[in-house]
A = this chain, B = another copy of it.
């Protein structure tokens, strides 16, 4: 769709794969995890630290930015990258998911959705065309079609209607997409937990033709086997030479199992949100730093981590910061979690390249169990 945006699969290991997405603002090594920068900031961390921890791309939310500070304002200030001091690639979603989950008094019609801002109650209108216009004002590198997300579980008739509406909006989004060198548009497969609807959605999107394909409406609380079944069901219908993006996922285990099935790109608030609530994701499993058993523990989170925050502060200190509600605790745990997520992606990329992905997964999962049980580093 545009010359300078391209995706190259470098190596496959069964259905898992590793590759590179090239954009004018930088390369994205896949499988890739995008930290979430909702309101033009990955919460509680400097942008240069996000990059240094291994992120090639971040996600920003169209819904939040259209409400505050407004896309026209960001455009006048030189675009989103300059605004947030992040010169590397950015993916923007279309706002569809947040309109479902955050907005008040949502009113949907064939042409779009009218909703009240959750901030001040002001009325806004989002159409496929306006979603494209906003993302063009933000000048994001990867842009998403407007879709309608349903809450799962959901009656079949309702899922069918939303899936068809999302397909109609996919067509309109592609038509409205402002073609610029290096900017990409991804379609979003919907269909709830229904394999037939998902397959139809994937086929229809592939016929329209996008720079990449996302699975939407998943990672919203449904059991993991449902998510994985949907991935397995739709992937045969998506062009293999295009990136595949599982929106909103997930736990480290979700990432492993999804990469195993062929997903290339992820975003999730989990590592950052969990970090702000005292949870650490580590090589040896998840730790709740709020737990009193850490109060006297001089051990760091992970003495072998590449992340200074994981090496230089004791669990006792992190426990203290979390209990005291100190911002530094949120900052350090955000770094620790993003670092672990990026280390996991890097290890997955290497494992696929070495065609040892299954072995790698087994080892990673075994290490998580040692930590969950003991709370001590496996080393």
A contact residues vs B (CB 8 Å cutoff): 39-46, 68-69, 73, 76-78, 83-85, 276, 295-296, 298, 312-314, 316-317, 319-321, 323-324, 326-328, 330-331
A43 CB contacts on chain B under 8 angstroms: 326-328
Q: Judging by beta carbons under 8 Å apart, are A320 and B85 in contact?
A: no
A317 CB contacts on chain B under 8 angstroms: 40, 77, 83-85
Known A46-B331, A69-B320, A313-B85; contact A326-B39, beta-carbon cutoff 8 A: yes
C-alpha gap A313/B77 in the complex (Å):
11
Q: Judging by beta carbons under 8 Å apart, are B41 and A321 in contact?
A: yes
Report the minimum CB–CB distance from A351 to chain B (whole Å): 32
A41 CB contacts on chain B under 8 angstroms: 321, 326, 328
Report the minimum CB–CB distance from A265 to chain B (whole Å): 24
Report the minimum CB–CB distance from A318 to chain B (whole Å): 11
Q: Judging by beta carbons under 8 Å apart, are B326 and A76 in contact?
A: no
Known A296-B76, A298-B77, A298-B78; contact A69-B316, beta-carbon cutoff 8 A: yes
Q: Judging by beta carbons under 8 Å apart, are A69 and B295 in contact?
A: yes
C-alpha gap A342/B276 in the complex (Å):
29
A42 CB contacts on chain B under 8 angstroms: 328
Option from B45, B77, B313, B319 in Cβ contact (under 8 Å) with A316: B77
Which 3 A-B pairs give the minimum distances between C-beta atoms?
A44-B327, A41-B328, A69-B320
C-alpha gap A324/B85 in the complex (Å):
17
Q: Could you name 13 residue pairs across A and B whose Cβ atoms are closer than 8 Å?
A: A39-B320, A39-B321, A39-B324, A39-B326, A40-B317, A41-B321, A43-B326, A68-B320, A69-B320, A77-B316, A276-B327, A327-B330, A327-B331
Chain B: CB-nearest residue to A48? B308
